Structure 1
Amino acid sequence: VLAIAAGGQHSLVLVSDSNLYAFGYNLKGQLGVVEQYEEFAGAVFTPVRMLVPGEVLAMAAGGWHTLILTSAGLYGTGSNIYGQLADPIIAGNSKSSPSLIDSESSSGWALFGGSPPASLGTGDQHSVVVTEASTMWVFGSNRYGQLARQDNAGTWTFNAVPLELTVCDLEAVGCSATDYRIASATAGGSNTFVRVERNPCPPGFFGVPPFGRPGPNGICSPCPPGQFGTLWGQSGCNKCGVGKHASGPNATSCVDCVENTYAEVTGRGECTPCPGNTTMRGNGSSDAADCLVLCSEGSYSTADPVNGFGVEPCLQCDAGTHAPLRGALACSACAKGKYAGAGMSACADCGTNRTTRTAGSQSVAECLDMCREGYFGKYGVDNCAPCDRGTFTPGPGYSMCVPCGGNLTTRFAGDTLCLPACGPGEVGQFGVGPDCVPCGAGEVAGQEGSLCQNCSAGSFPSVDRTECVPCAAGTFQLAAGIPCAGCPAGKEAPSAGATACTDCLAGTYASQEATAECLACPDGFTSPGAGATSCDACGPGSFAAGGASACLPCAPGTFSSSPAASCPPCPLGTYAPAWGATSCEDCPLGTTLELGAAAVSQCVGFLEAGVEWSDPAQAGAPTRVALRFSPQMVIRPGESITVGLPLFFLPASGKVDLLGGDGAVSTSFEAYFANASLDLPFNNIRILARDGNPAQAPVSLEVPAAAGVRLPEQGTPRNNLALTLSTDARSGPVRELPINNSAPVGSFDGTARLSLAGGRLSVAFSAVMNIAAGEAITFELPKLRPVGGGAAGSSLQVALEGNTRAAFNASAVWEVPAVGGSGRLVLTVAGGGVLRANM
């Protein structure tokens, strides 16, 4: 058990686990539970736990109410008939469970002046709260004056708002609120007792033991220098520790000794300063050894600086340097004109009109005589030379001269006096005024104060005689003082200010006078010698790039027919075997694999190419097509060979099986029919090489008659250009080539006819092919016999003399057979092959 409290008719017990238990009469809810609440005859005999937020810190039991202080705030339960729970809302009523009166989190203890409660008191029907700030607050019944207020004493007034009572409210005379404070208070049934005590001495003061209050004279004593007090009610002060001090009386704390001071003992009012020429790291020193000695003049320290100063151990300054002050971190080089030995605090001066070459000199031996006024030299002492005209030195010892500025100049080099200069184009004695006159003919003066000078050859004076103007490009001047003249044709002057012109180089020309730069001969033209005024065109078979000095012959494989910068290569299918070709020769057969062929051996095609079809080769009849050729180029896998069949009838486009030389379907080649297009303006068969074909490897393939190829209805011209081969091989391509040895096919244009009258048979036809001289036409007349006898099926040959597509009439007398002619009439032509056509 930590605490107990007894009220009018109930009791409270606080145990160590911060739980609060209540028992007794609970008519007004003073136990904080609903059990026996508002029951006049009932009582709670077994302690019940009062549920209240936070850790219970204090409690008080009144006549009919209870106050509880927890870490969460001040709570009240029970009767509030006179406002003893400080709740103006339920005046005249009661509460059966603890409710919040005030807290830090809800209002910052506003009901009690902003200070948390320190102790509680409860009477029969009133309450008392003393705060941590020693203020006292009362609320509830004042029927008997227990609230120490006169305005409603003796009445049954409801006082729910806490009223603050001060020491002066309790004392009639001699009140001093600064000297006394309320220490504690307790509440009886209808009265209140308050204990008042003197205020303890404040921090920085001390009083009479044991509570540190003012003595009999009512005065607190201040802490002496070197001591301090931090608390209220101290009966003595504390000494400052080493490294600290308290300089004045009534100190509440000690402060660190500042830099360059120290306190080796406790209780110091002031810190001891470090001796002169020393410094210290930081504050709060307690040891005189912390005072560090500064480096003397003429020395420096390489250690870490202390407060920006160098401290011992120190090094002597090197010769040529000095350290004028104590505590140096580095030595400074002597300025130019001064010198110093080792360990010096100041540099010595070389003396009048003497100086050193550079800063940092180490001895008087380095002092040298200065260049005199109007002269300059390296470092102001070596190899002194006069200043250029228009510049000067303000005194001796200068390493460079200063321009006079404005319109001033000097009379001569090394002069020390700047005077008004003659203007540009004028001259006077020494180039200065006051007697200035214009420069003479052919002379210029470019700057103020300059002397007049003659223009050199290749230039002439400007109008204001301030500068020499160079002759323009394309002109020249042989000697000074004569006009500039234009270069003659065939010569050039590319730069301004020329004194002579130069001949145009070979390959260039100048057709006009005053040419600045010769022009390069255009492409295909040249000028073989220097000084040309025009260019000659290259002849056929030669070329010249722009600016060339000679025409060169076209190399084999190239040609030219007109002036050009280069010879183009021979097109595909042509070649040029010799130098200087004016044109390329066509390949006798095939084409070339690339541009610029130089030999006929570069022409490639299909060797031993041939085609055959079914015999008899009747126009419009289905036929097999047998192909043979040996490509002179490599046919790679996926590349193809196209067989052109002009005027032949092909089935719809699509794939067709090919037969190899053994009569079986080929696995190396496959064929596709294609009708005429813009790229290939004739019906064709494209043969795809699945596996490729080496160069000059013979190929023998056959398109079977079942594939549907038909001979032309009207025939085709009978010559070796009737059919063509081409390829898309990357080693090609090869343009269309003839297939040799192809059997000719022709017709007679569908006009062939015969008639029989009076035993005379007449035949008429129009040949759709070339019939060479010496070739013959044969009329096969099956089942007919010639007059005069003979076997049936005889034929008649007619020799022609070069008829070409001309109508030809032939008549013969024939015996008509008794049974009539039921066979076909066939017209053939011999020579280079047999052509058949129906009549």
Structure 2
Amino acid sequence: MICPTKTNAPQECPAGQVPNGGQTACTNCLAGTYRASSDAACVTCPEGHKCPSDGMANATVCPAGEYQTSPGQTSCDDCPAGSECSDTTTANACPSGQFSLARSTSCSNCASGYYTSSPGQGSCTQCTAGYFCSSTTQTQCGATKFSSAGAASCDTCTAGYECPGPTTSTPQQCTNGTYSSAGASACSPCDVGYQCPVAGMTAPDACTGATYSDSTGTLTCLTCPAGQRCPDTSSTPIDCLAGEFSSAGSATCSACNDGEYTTATGSETCTPCPEGYKCLDKAASPVQCGVGEFSLGGHKTCTACGAGTYKDSAGVGNCTECPAGSECPTGAAATPCGSGYYSESGASVCIPCPGGYSCSDPAQAPQECSSGSYSSNSSASCTTCPEGHRCPDNGMIEPEVCPAGWYQTSAGQTTCTECPTGSKCTDRTSTPTTCPEGEYQDGGGMETCKSCPSG
């Protein structure tokens, strides 16, 4: 109360003021304090409020986004970033996983892919590539996974790529010669028996047909080479054996054709058997044809010389027609006909000279014996008809003995002579004998004389 005059009744000071020391006048409460009409004195401005000027009747609550922790203050402080000031008397730090801007009355959750690992943050940090984030932590993706910046989770590594980790941000494409399935930490070398011709393969391609791959990391399957076989697409080619061959791109070896050979392993082709040789064993060197046989080039066996031909040396050469006057019974040689035999060209055996002919030249046809001569079978020449015989015809096989009572004293004759009367012819080779005294012969062609009758 104040008493401004001695004549007037005491007066109440208005809100915001208090009596002075002599209680003669009212004075303003200082800034930082206030006085309501019910208050006996100025009151210190409480926490969470501000009293910015003198003479305030009430404390002013700190506006939203501001706070004041101390009493008797003329102003409120802005709520700092990283805190919330829902209670104007204090600034509470945002917990991990939340953030706030300055002058906030609440904290906000970090967006997906962002985090705060400590309280009191004014912003959330974007999750680093190669990591995944909850609102409070950032964790490495590890091998087989990857992520880009701002990821809440990691993705499985794409097939055809590798993610070695632990913080892969971009999968690395597998190079040619390698491959991978989904979720691979590293690309795998292409397996034996397979090829990986391009980058980014998710599975290897199997070698097919007559191709192979005998090492890992192969870009392209190789064609099975000539002279070898490829029974397994994952194994090294195997040389063809002697007697076999193969062309490039063949999975198997083939036996040489009949009439061909190869003594070496790993042959691309077989060699035709040469002329004058036989190749029964396709894996062995050719063998010379023997005497009496021949072969043309490219034949498996030798052929025996045909009837009436011969070959008297081994190896190269043809069979020759057996010459006239010789025989070729085995095909190995031409043997001259023996005496009394002959042959025409191309004969397997000599032929006995027929009776009534001569074969003095075995290379010529038999010559017929002329009258006055003869020949038996297998005779080289004609024989002169002997005394006591006659050879009246050409081509006679044997001479005819002169008939009884006939005679021939000369050789080579075609006739015999009848024994004359008065003679006897006991020997066909001698001249007639005159009948002796006391005998006679009145007939011709008689071997004896008759006795003369008595009287």
- Alignment TM-score, normalising by the size of structure 2: 0.35
* Larger CA Rg, structure 1 vs 2: 2
Q: Kindly indicate which of the two structures has a greater share of residues assigned to strand.
A: 1
